[in-house]
Amino acid sequence: AKPVIVAIDGPSGTGKSSTSKAVAAQLGLSYLDTGAQYRAITWWMVNNGIDTDDPSAVAAVTGKPEIVSGTDPKSPTITVDGVDVAGPIREQDVTSRVSAVSAVPEVRTRITELQRTIASAAVTGIVVEGRDIGTTVLPGADLKIFLTASPEARAARRSGELKGADLNTTREALIRRDAADSGRKTSPLAKAGDAVEVDTTELTLQQVVECVVTLVEEKR
């Protein structure tokens, strides 16, 4: 069978990562967390003293770090210049800067190329999660899902995952980040015209996974 490409987009805290990993594992597909790639390049910028609020400073060094993603849904990995950054990329200092870095066109061009290379190498297929996968990175995907959830549900899910933040702070930071991601010029967070929208507010993870798996099977 030909490889199946699944794009899963949506704002933070809608269950994209958990859903994407579970769907990929269940169907024997690879998995790519594109948010982790943007976080990884942001982590490198922070670590190297680059002013992340200065787009030209960011653009000038965009090609420097080597970012490698491991695509096994059961144990995805992310390294920068050979260093495992899975932990540090979830810290507040990276989370608060990632939207500014990912809005820089040079960054998007580079990371998008990486994503397309990884997707085209997946033998059975791949589940790719992010913000612009269905619209920009893989517009020819076999299935496009757009996950949504209420801001309250999203903040509650995220504060369970992130260290050192209360619910209100998390909720406000999340709304700010989504606004920045949706409002940027280059490849904003958006639902593709042919994406299936799934509101996860009232659904369990298992229900969302089942729904997406069924949709993938219909396409195969």
Least Cα distance to 216 among 14, 15, 28, 18 occurs for: 28
CB of 48 to ligand C5P, least distance (A): 19
Residue 13 annotated as binding site: yes
Please say which residue, 20 or 203, places its beta carbon nearer to ligand C5P: 20
Q: Which of 21, 97, 110, 131 binds ligand C5P (CB under 6 A)?
A: 131
If one asks whether residue 71 binds ligand C5P (CB under 6 A), the answer comes out as no
11 is in an annotated binding site: yes
Q: How far is the CB of 34 from ligand C5P (least distance, A)?
A: 4
Q: Which DSSP symbol is given to 140?
A: T
69 labeled binding residue: no
What is the rounded distance in angstroms from the CA atom of residue 11 to the CA atom of residue 154? 9
CB atoms within 10 A of CB 127: 33
Amino acid at 131: R
Question: Which of residues 171 and 177 has its CB atom nearest to ligand C5P in the complex?
Answer: 177
Using rule CB under 6 A, residue 181 touches ligand C5P: yes
- How far apart, in whole angstroms, are the C-alpha atoms of residue 180 and residue 158? 18
- Cα separation, 215 vs 89, whole angstroms: 32
Closest CA to 150 of 203, 200, 191, 82: 200
Binding mask 11-50 for ligand C5P (x = CB under 6 A): -x---------------------xx--xx-----------
Specify the 3-state DSSP secondary structure of 150: coil
Q: List, in sequence order, every residue forming a beta bridge with 125; answer none if it has no partner.
A: 4
**Contact flags string 98-117 toward ligand C5P, x per CB under 6 A:** xx--x---------------
Residues that bind ligand C5P (CB under 6 A): 12, 34-35, 38-39, 98-99, 102, 130-133, 177, 181
Q: Which residues does the annotation place in the binding site for ATP? A: 10-18
